[in-house]
Amino acid sequence: DVKVTQSSRYLVKRTGEKVFLECVQDMDHENMFWYRQDPGLGLRLIYFSYDVKMKEKGDIPEGYSVSREKKERFSLILESASTNQTSMYLCASSLAPPGGYEQYFGPGTRLTVT
Amino acid sequence: KNEVEQSPQNLTAQEGEFITINCSYSVGISALHWLQQHPGGGIVSLFMLSSGKKKHGRLIATINIQEKHSSLHITASHPRDSAVYICAAGRWGGSEKLVFGKGTKLTVNP
């Protein structure tokens, strides 16, 4: 059974803290994604990684960075958390191109920044 | 204008009704995805299709490439079908990134 796991389901952090969200997949997928989901805005891509140490900015990368040191693990880092980063964060993975491959999602982390 | 538009935004149905959710897209696509998200967050892929029609149990997905339109149908709806249904387009050109619609919230009442 394919699996994408995320380090926390719920997280509460203070403004200015450095926050790490971790995602692990056990499917040997090349691609990994970080999204945030907000009411009325849908899913928006923050960062995408297509290989170890390789990354590409998504639609809303400002305030975030990522790290992929191992194929199965993709971390999202909020360098200095702000209240407007309160959101649901979802990780996903998929096989490499050709395009159109199914994405497998983790359960999500609901982050609240106070 | 969003590249992927879904309608309706919200849908309430009685148990047993036939349900249709629509998705229109303006980009060239390699595949069209339908996803389901239950309360609590987890997203599950229902279908990935690039032509014709696919069926899984009571769910049917169709796509018309010429009209850039896809539909998700649920036959004999049940309260457990209550969820948000999301349409996503995989852009043509080998990009693995998806463009998402804003979702349709379906509530099926007993």
Cross-chain Cβ contact A110/B86 below 8 Å: no
Helix (H, G, I), strand (E, B) or coil at A28: coil
Task: Provide, as residue numbers in chain A, all residues whose Cβ is less than 8 Å from the Cβ of B98.
Answer: 45, 103
Q: Which two tokens stand for residue A14?
A: 């203070």
pLDDT of residue B42: 87
Determine the residue of chain A that is closest to B33 in CA distance. A102
The string of DSSP codes covering A81-96 is --GGG-EEEEEEEEPP
Q: Which two tokens stand for residue A50?
A: 């297509």
Residues of chain B numbered 18-37 and touching chain A (CB < 8 Å): 30-31, 33, 35
CA B61 – CA A95 distance, rounded (Å): 22
State yes or no: pLDDT of B1 exceeds 80.
no
Facing A42 at nearest CB: one of B91, B95, B103: B103
State yes or no: pLDDT of B92 exceeds 70.
no
pLDDT of residue A96: 76
pLDDT of residue A17: 97
Cross-chain Cβ contact B41/A108 below 8 Å: yes
Q: Among residues A83, A31, A36, which one has the least CA distance to residue A60?
A: A36
Q: pLDDT per residue over A41-77, tens digit each?
A: 889 999 999 889 999 999 899 999 999 999 999 999 9
Facing B45 at nearest CB: one of A33, A41, A103: A103
Helix (H, G, I), strand (E, B) or coil at B73: strand
Q: Among residues A114, A43, A60, A86, which one has the least CA distance to residue B41?
A: A43
Name the minimum distance, in Å, from the CA of B5 to any CA of chain A: 11
The average confidence (pLDDT) of chain B is 91
Determine the residue of chain B that is closest to A105 in CA distance. B43
Cross-chain Cβ contact B48/A100 below 8 Å: yes
